[in-house]
């Protein structure tokens, strides 16, 4: 009997891990990890909330919760207001490391509009977001993560 219980507990733990992984693999998707997602959603009706919805295109490459592993790109939890290329354990391009940038609103805006033009030779394989209104919401979300996140 105790063995059975232990097994059940183990299975539950594994299932929980699996769930976590799946949610992380596609954080923007509806369903599945919805309960967890609501925990980290900015208040509805705010630009940051809108930005979370627009962040789906970034989440393919970037995690955004504190302590999460880097993906193709570095974790962005604390990137707002930070010096560029400081994510521990991420192999940044020398272009970004030498940029001397600080991620202010203006800098993030220019980078997201056209990454290659703003930091030539950087490795973010993202063509850019043309719509300044969309960029503004994404920046609001990054700011929210830094200042009011989990």
Cβ nearer to ligand HEC, comparing 33 with 139? 139
Cβ nearer to ligand HEC, comparing 13 with 57? 57
Cβ nearer to ligand HEC, comparing 19 with 37? 37
Q: Mask: binding to ligand HEC, 73-112, rule CB under 6 A, as x and -?
A: xx-x--x----xxxx----xx-xx------x----x---x
Min CB(107)–ligand HEC separation in Å: 9
Min CB(51)–ligand HEC separation in Å: 9
Cβ nearer to ligand HEC, comparing 23 with 107? 107
Report the 10 Å Cβ neighbour count for 29.
14
Part in contact with ligand HEC (CB under 6 A); list of ranges 6-14, 20-28, 38-46, 67-75: 67-75
Report the 10 Å Cβ neighbour count for 134.
16
Q: Does 60 bind ligand HEC (CB under 6 A)?
A: yes
Tokens encoding 1: 């009997």
Task: Give one DSSP letter per residue of the chain, joined into a string.
Answer: -HHHHHHHHHHHHHHHHHHHHHHHHSTT-SSTTHHHHHHTPPPTTSHHHHHHHHTHHHHTT---STTPPP-SS---TT-TTSBTT--TT----HHHHTS--B--HHHHHHHHH-HHHHSTT----------HHHHHHHHHHHHHHHHH--
Cβ nearer to ligand HEC, comparing 138 with 140? 138
Enumerate binding residues for ligand HEC (CB under 6 A).
57-58, 60-62, 72-74, 76, 79, 84-87, 92-93, 95-96, 103, 108, 112, 122-126, 129, 138
């Amino acid at each position: 009997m105790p063995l059975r219980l232990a097994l059940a507990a183990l299975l539950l733990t594994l299932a929980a891990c699996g769930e976590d992984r799946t949610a992380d693999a596609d954080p923007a998707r509806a369903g599945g990890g919805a309960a967890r997602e609501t925990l980290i959603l900015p208040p509805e009706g705010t630009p940051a909330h809108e930005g979370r919805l627009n962040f789906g295109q970034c989440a393919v490459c970037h995690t955004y919760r504190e302590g999460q592993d880097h993906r193709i790109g570095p974790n962005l939890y604390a990137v707002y207001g930070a010096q560029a290329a400081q994510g521990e354990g991420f192999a940044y391009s020398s272009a970004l490391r030498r940029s001397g940038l600080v991620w202010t609103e203006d800098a993030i805006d220019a980078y997201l509009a056209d990454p290659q033009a703003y930091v030539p030779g950087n490795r973010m394989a993202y063509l850019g977001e043309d719509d300044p209104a969309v960029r503004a919401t994404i920046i609001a979300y990054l700011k929210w993560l830094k200042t009011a996140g989990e």
